[in-house]
Amino acid sequence: MTEPFGTDIWGKFIPLAEWGPLVDEYLQDPAKGPIVNIAPPEVDDREYDAIFIGGGAAGRFGSAFLRARGGRQLVIDKWPFLGGSCPHEACVPHHVFSEAARMLDYARLMSNKYWCEDYENVKKRASILAIRDGFLRSRGAAHGIMNFQSKEQLNMEYVLNAEAKVVEAAGPDGLFGVEAAGRIFKAKNLVLAIGARPTAPDVPGTGLKGVVNFATMLDPEWLDFEPNRCVVIGGGKTAIEYGSFFQATGCSTTILTRSQLMRTKGLIHVDEDMRLWVENAMKRRGIDIHDNSEPVSIDGVDRVSGVTYRDMTTHEQFTVECDMVFLGTGETPLSDQFATLGLDLDAKGHILVDKTMQTSVPGVYACGDMIPGAREMFKARKSGVTAARNIMGEYTEYEHENYPDFLHSTYEVVWTGLSEEEARQQYSNVVTIKLPPDGVSREDSALPVGDGSMFFALEGMGEAGLLKSVIDGDSRKILGLQFVAFGVRNAFQYLDYLIHKWPGGFTADQMADVNELFLNEGYPQLHRLRVGGALRDL
Ligand SMILES: Cc1cc2nc3c(=O)[nH]c(=O)nc-3n(C[C@H](O)[C@H](O)[C@H](O)COP(=O)(O)OP(=O)(O)OC[C@H]3O[C@@H](n4cnc5c(N)ncnc54)[C@H](O)[C@@H]3O)c2cc1C
Ligand SMILES: NC(=O)c1ccc[n+]([C@@H]2O[C@H](COP(=O)([O-])OP(=O)(O)OC[C@H]3O[C@@H](n4cnc5c(N)ncnc54)[C@H](OP(=O)(O)O)[C@@H]3O)[C@@H](O)[C@H]2O)c1
């Protein structure tokens, strides 16, 4: 492994400002070959403790952790940057689009009020392409930071812009072989972390011009026109987030979903009050939502002109006209690339792992979107780190059973713990604290109000949001929290931790003891109003 190949950057300092344009060059011309940051033998001649195949959230965090534990790692990625799909095509653009949706929603609701222009009736449209292209212009910088930090600060070894293939299961030397960029690399362990790719429904027409998913809509050659009428297929996070964005820009949107919105298989612990608040707020904004509906065909000759769908109860068929179809129909793990290893998989193709992230093949670990469970960044990062710890001999288990969850509509929608329905199945004395309270319409309640909804409250729009706390009235433990509004997502990271990890559980009394940074979302003060005696609904 001494001969240089590709662009050897070992020992060369590339300033952060140069990394972004460099990554963009490689993205435009992948044939430029690999970017190689490998220590020469005179610097480090140890065998690799692990090769991480895929340098997304799972592979990069695992790699960094293994290095920090004194091990030697190599991470190989087919893209010319580390960080994976999150900054490239998933979380980061989703947050850009969701922030645009929120700002546009605000502009519409506040039309002609205070300093606000008449967005709703005069301006009417925002350009989806302009927002998308703004993201694309800045994307190289996000990628550059990952490459810079991984090299200069985390001391990771990497080969980028090179697809990796496992060519040798552990041989007589006990080492695995991985081929990338025309070279074979050897390691004591493998960590598989190449993620998942979008799945299209098995109906005619998915290849028509104008049919996009979260990844292809970022391709200026694929989405090269300003859509005016969109059909979104799916009812999970991606469908809700991108559907809310399209509608907010003024692109009239219909959502076709088999399950009810937010009652899809991938979403758990969803409270019905919260779900209905989200769905009704989307409908108030003009999104046409049809559940119990499955696609039959995506119609059109060269480009899409509509979607034909079937009511799953009556089997009646309907057609909605459109010029863009957005597929929010989930993802499939890329496990087939490792078929030769003979790994145990679940029915959906996820690689099965034990609590240490080891697969059915000793020495082979898997993490991130390739393994069952929530496809979220926390799981990708924590599972990568768990694999690294175990490889370095520090026995560590990770189970991703309890976690806070969120999505965006034009609101932040955040939840943790049990829904009210789930709590009532398990506990006999369930108490709820809610804003707006039961029996009060949203129009009559300016609350919950906080940063981001002050003007909704001022104008009596009934758009402030929803707050809910589900408590076991006997033990006084908080069982679940739900919130639809703004600015509480970070708080839920810690509330979730307290609910699930605080010894004996986190009680309404402890919530009441929290020093709120008033004016805040309302949980501490509402619990304080109720904890003097026996808990009752509020
Ligand atoms: C639209 C959307 C929005 C999302 N928003 C959020 C969010 O807001 N918050 C959140 O927590 N999660 C979000 N997620 C989920 C999150 O993006 C994923 O859970 C996370 O990126 C998974 O990380 P990973 O490392 O497992 O996979 P990836 O990040 O996909 O990394 C896999 C890497 O493997 C590389 N690779 C593939 N094949 C090969 C090969 N043969 N050889 C070498 N390298 C290869 C790829 O280039 C890639 O870099 C979102 C997902 C989507 C689809
Ligand atoms: N944190 C975030 O904000 C965020 C944002 C976006 C995505 N993500 C993650 O990324 C992953 C992908 O999200 P996602 O919303 O795309 O996927 P998802 O949660 O798997 O939902 C897929 C949706 O598509 C539907 N569907 C699947 N196949 C279909 C078909 N053949 N015909 C019609 N409908 C079909 C499903 O319906 P049924 O449920 O009825 O089968 C469901 O509504 C998820 O794991 C998610 O957690 C996270």
Alpha helices in 327-405 (DSSP H): 377-391
Region 237-265 average pLDDT: 98
Distance of CA 525 to the CA centre of its chain: 31
- Tell me the pLDDT of the chain averaged across its residues: 95
**Which of 89-93, 202-206, 529-533 shows the lowest per-residue confidence on average (mean pLDDT)?**
529-533
* Mean pLDDT computed over 8-36: 95
Cα(372)–Cα(358) distance, integer angstroms: 13
What does the block give as tokens for 287? Answer: 């999104």
Q: Rounded to the nearest 10 degrees, how much is the dihedral formed by the CA atoms of 252, 275, 401, 416?
A: 110
pLDDT for 3: 46
Closest to 376 in 3D by CA, of 58, 147, 64, 53:
58
pLDDT per residue as tens digits for the range 380-434: 999 999 999 999 999 999 998 899 999 999 999 999 999 999 999 999 999 999 9
**In this model, does residue 121 exceed pLDDT 90?**
no
Average pLDDT over residues 148-162: 97
Taking only the tens place, the pLDDT of each residue in 339-351 is 999 999 999 999 9
Beta carbons within 8 Å of 3's beta carbon, 6+ residues apart: none
Residue 130 has pLDDT above 90, yes or no: yes
The residues that bridge with 51 in the sheet, in sequence order, are 74, 190
Q: What percent of the chain has pLDDT above 90?
A: 88
Predicted confidence (pLDDT) at residue 76 exceeds the cutoff of 80: yes
Nearest residue by C-alpha to atom 7 in ligand 1: 91
Distance 90 CA to ligand 2 centre (A): 13
Cβ neighbours, 10 Å, residue 93: 23
Q: Is 170 in the pocket of ligand 1 (CB under 6 A)?
A: no
pLDDT at 5: 62
Q: How many other C-beta atoms lie within 10 A of the C-beta of residue 209?
A: 16
From atom 39 of ligand 2, which residue's Cα is the shortest distance away?
A: 264
Indicate if the pLDDT at residue 1 is higher than 90. no
Give 83-99 pLDDT, tens digit per residue: 999 999 999 999 999 99
| Catalytic residue IDs | 82, 86, 91, 143, 518
**pLDDT score for 531:** 87
**What are the start-end ranges of the H helices in 110-195?**
128-148
Instruction: Give the Å distance between the CA of 245 and the centre of ligand 2.
Output: 17
Q: Whose CA is nearest to atom 12 of ligand 1?
A: 376
Q: Is pLDDT at 110 greater than 60 in this prediction?
A: yes
Ligand closest to Cα of 199 equals 2
Ligand 1 closest atom vs CA 76: 43
Alpha carbon nearest to ligand 2 atom 14, residue: 330
Query: Quick one: average pLDDT of 455-467?
Result: 92
As a whole number, mean pLDDT of residues 514-528 equals 89
Q: Where are the alpha helices (DSSP H) in 354-440?
A: 377-391, 420-426
Q: Is pTM beyond 0.85 here?
A: yes
* Mean pLDDT value across residues 28-36: 94
Minimum mean pLDDT among 53-57, 160-164, 486-490: which range? 486-490
pLDDT at residue 124 in the model: 83
Atom of ligand 1 nearest to the CA of 79: 47
Pocket mutation for ligand 2, best pick of 264, 369, 412 (most atoms within 8 Å of C-beta): 264
Is a pLDDT exceeding 50 seen at residue 505?
yes
Mean of pLDDT values over 515-524: 88
> Looking at residue 4, what is its pLDDT?
45
Predicted confidence at residue 2, as pLDDT, reads 40
φ, ψ (nearest 5 deg) of residue 7: -95, 110
Ligand closest to the CA atom of residue 146: 1
Q: Helix/strand/coil (H, E, C) string of 303-328?
A: EEEEEEEEECCCCCEEEEECCEEEEC
436: closest CA among 470, 479, 465? Answer: 465
pLDDT for residue 6 is more than 80? no
Q: How confident is the model at residue 171 (pLDDT cuts 50, 70, 90)?
A: confident
Q: From the CA of 294, give the closest atom in ligand 2.
A: 33
- Any idea which of 53-57, 442-446, 504-508 has the lowest mean pLDDT? 442-446
